Amino acid sequence: MLGTDLEQTVFVLAPTGRDARLIADTLLKADVRAETCSSSDELCKALEAGAAAAIVSQEALAPDALDDLARHLEAQPFWSDLPILFLTFTGSPSAENIAGANAAKALGNVTLLERPIRPETLRAAVRAALRARMRQYQLRTRQESLQHAISELEQFAYSASHDLREPLRNLSIFSELLMKQYSAALDDAGKQYCQFVLNGARRMETLVDDLLAYTRLSENGDNGDNDESAATDAGKCIEMVLNSLAPAIRESGADIQVEKLPVVGMRSTHLYQVFQNLLHNAIKYRGQSPPCIRVSAVRDQGFGWQFAVKDNGIGIRTEYKERIFGLFKRLHNTTEYSGSGIGLAICQRIVQRSGGRIWVESEPGRGSTFFFTVKS
Amino acid sequence: MVVIEDNPGDIYLIRYALGLHAIEDLTVIRDGEAGYEFVTQIDRGLATAPQVFIVDFSLPRRTGPELLELIRASRACAGVRIVIASSSRSPKDQAVARKFGADCYFAKPSNFEEYIQIGAIAADLLHDRP
């Protein structure tokens, strides 16, 4: 049988071959594809290959067979929730209830059907199960095409970034050479034009680099270095960030206070990028006085840790609080503040991918505090 | 010295950088397929293997890593030194270059002074300096 046929097939597990055959025949009369299984092992194998639903009668399932089946069902992909029709035993009422309740608990998507069952009732229950299963298949198809579209888009962005850089490099270097080697032949306007070309190319390169960093975050959720453990000492991480920002800190006269920070469940390269972007912004968007920045962390109920990076900079108007995390969203022109508008988008993507959230509280002229949550 | 590179700007800069180290004996091949044929010819004894290859990572028709693989598989090219020059700074591309046997990965910078360092790198490989 083909895989797609199996996916339309109801598998029947009943203790005697005769019972299973009877049920299967009842379904076949309603044009439902049905196959019998002689053991729970066989049923589990059938489910691995693909199945629309399963009909299981209580006496066919020993306790360890129930566990086996439950394990198989637990391993289903996220879109799949196999409908199980469980035929309860016509014995003593209490035994019935316990077996049915156990099965329902262990097997998830279970409909209990009490015997003796009328053929029409069985067929209706099976039809309902099949309808639900078809919806699950639709969900799978959607998911697959979405996944495909995403990976194509990422591939596109990645190679575009590679191929874009080459002509930009030529622009930068040769306008630089023009200014250096031909400055005598150029008047002031000519030199200025060269400078415009150079600035434009350099800026575009920054954009491409940042875009690359952003798309790289999506490749298998890592940054190219797989051997890193997910436990990161945030204190050590921020020390590294402060080292890398030392020239900007010196130049701006920034006062940066870091409280004791915990060990958190995030790759160090990712936490580094988040801190780096937030601190860099805190220094860059400063007001009249030198930046005063405070980094702290408190326990976040039920999740892990909530970090705060607080500054005394120019602040952000309420209507922009959401927008600043978007890709290429900038609030200033490039002569006021340089940048590509990707930094906060990268932060948001990193934090959200690890299950946390990031937001800002701010008042124009009174500084901003960026918060983000990380698992312990 | 053989340079396999398609971008005229890069060819100019590499030639300039090598000239600073008195390396004038230079063969330039302008696309991946021609590079592939050149290596095949070396294997057949129809061309001489250079001491150093400078190979662009992303060439038309045949990529840098493809050429690397071919050169490393060629007996006539045994011991040849290879510089992979690339527009990308991606750690993945560096890992690919290493895997296929490049002696050096040169991420082409967008600043003249840094770019011409490729001359010193190639000269060191040519004269077998570490």
pLDDT score at A229: 54
Nearest to A374 by CA among A308, A325, A296, A304: A304
Whole-angstrom distance, CA of residue B51 vs CA of residue B79: 8
pLDDT score at A51: 93
pLDDT exceeds 70 at position B95: yes
Q: What is the pLDDT of residues A226-246, one digit of tens each?
A: 444 578 999 999 999 999 899
To the nearest whole Å, the CA of A227 is away from the closest chain B CA by: 14
pLDDT exceeds 70 at position A360: yes
pLDDT score at A228: 46
Whole-angstrom distance, CA of residue A250 vs CA of residue A261: 23
Q: What is the pLDDT of residues A61-82, one digit of tens each?
A: 777 888 888 988 998 998 999 9
Q: What is the pLDDT of residues B37-70, one digit of tens each?
A: 999 999 999 999 999 999 999 888 888 999 999 9
- CB of A228 within 8 Å of a chain B CB? The answer is no
A326 versus A254: which is more confidently predicted? A254
Q: Which of A205, A212, A224 sits opposite B110 (nearest CB)?
A: A205
**What mean pLDDT value characterizes chain A?**
86
Percent of chain A with pLDDT over 90: 41
Are A112 and A88 contacting, i.e. CB atoms less than 8 angstroms apart?
A: yes
User: Worst-scoring range by mean pLDDT, A18-32, A248-262, A264-278?
Assistant: A18-32
pLDDT score at A376: 86
| φ, ψ at A62 (rounded to 5°) | -70, 160
User: Worst-scoring range by mean pLDDT, A163-167, A187-191, A271-275?
Assistant: A163-167
Q: Which of B91, B95, B108 sits opposite A169 (nearest CB)?
A: B108
* C-alpha dihedral, B88 to B90 to B95 to B97, nearest 10°: 0
Q: What is the maximum span of chain B, computed from C-alpha positions, in angstroms? A: 40
Average pLDDT over residues A1-22: 80
Which of A173, A179, A223 would you mutate first to test chain B, the one with the most B CBs within 10 A?
A: A173
Q: Which of B7, B91, B112 sits opposite A224 (nearest CB)?
A: B91
Omega cis (within 30) before A364: no
Whole-angstrom distance, CA of residue A63 vs CA of residue A65: 5
Q: What is the pLDDT of residues A118-160, one digit of tens each?
A: 889 999 999 999 999 999 999 999 999 999 988 888 777 777 7
| φ, ψ at A113 (rounded to 5°) | -125, 130
Q: Do B110 and A201 make contact, defined as CB atoms within 8 angstroms? A: yes
**What mean pLDDT value characterizes chain B?**
92
Percent of chain B with pLDDT over 70: 99
Q: Searching chain A, which residue's CA lies closest to the CA of residue B59?
A: A163
To the nearest whole Å, the CA of A199 is away from the closest chain B CA by: 12
pLDDT exceeds 80 at position A3: no
Which of A154, A158, A162 would you mutate first to test chain B, the one with the most B CBs within 10 A?
A: A162
Are A355 and A316 contacting, i.e. CB atoms less than 8 angstroms apart?
A: no
Whole-angstrom distance, CA of residue A7 vs CA of residue B56: 50
To the nearest whole Å, the CA of A349 is away from the closest chain B CA by: 19
pLDDT score at A218: 60
Q: Searching chain B, which residue's CA lies closest to the CA of residue A219?
A: B92
pLDDT score at A212: 78
Q: Do A202 and B110 make contact, defined as CB atoms within 8 angstroms? A: yes
User: Worst-scoring range by mean pLDDT, A273-277, A332-336, B52-56?
Assistant: A332-336
Q: Searching chain B, which residue's CA lies closest to the CA of residue A164?
A: B87
ipTM: 0.83
pLDDT score at A336: 67
Whole-angstrom distance, CA of residue A80 vs CA of residue A54: 13
Report chain B residues whose CB lies below 8 A from the CB of A212: 90
pLDDT score at A259: 94
- CB of A173 within 8 Å of a chain B CB? The answer is yes
pLDDT exceeds 80 at position A184: yes
Are B91 and A225 contacting, i.e. CB atoms less than 8 angstroms apart?
A: yes
CATH class of B2-88+99-126: alpha beta
pLDDT score at A90: 61
**What are the Cα distances from residue A363, in Å, to A176, A370, B64, B79?**
42, 12, 53, 65
pLDDT score at B130: 65
Strands A292-300 and A304-310: antiparallel
- CB of A206 within 8 Å of a chain B CB? The answer is no
Q: Do B112 and A173 make contact, defined as CB atoms within 8 angstroms? A: yes
Q: Do A165 and B88 make contact, defined as CB atoms within 8 angstroms? A: yes
0.95 cut: is pTM over it?
no
Q: What is the pLDDT of residues A90-120, one digit of tens each?
A: 655 555 567 777 777 888 899 988 888 888 9
Average pLDDT over residues A191-196: 91
Residues paired with A368 in a beta bridge: A362
pLDDT score at A190: 92
With cut-offs at 50, 70 and 90, classify the pLDDT of residue B91. Answer: confident
Q: Find the chain B residues whose C-beta atoms sit closer than 8 A to any C-beta of A.
A: 7, 9-10, 13, 58, 87-92, 95, 108-112, 115
Report chain B residues whose CB lies below 8 A from the CB of A166: 7, 10, 58, 87
Q: Which of B13, B87, B115 sits opposite A166 (nearest CB)?
A: B87
To the nearest whole Å, the CA of A159 is away from the closest chain B CA by: 10
Report chain B residues whose CB lies below 8 A from the CB of A225: 91
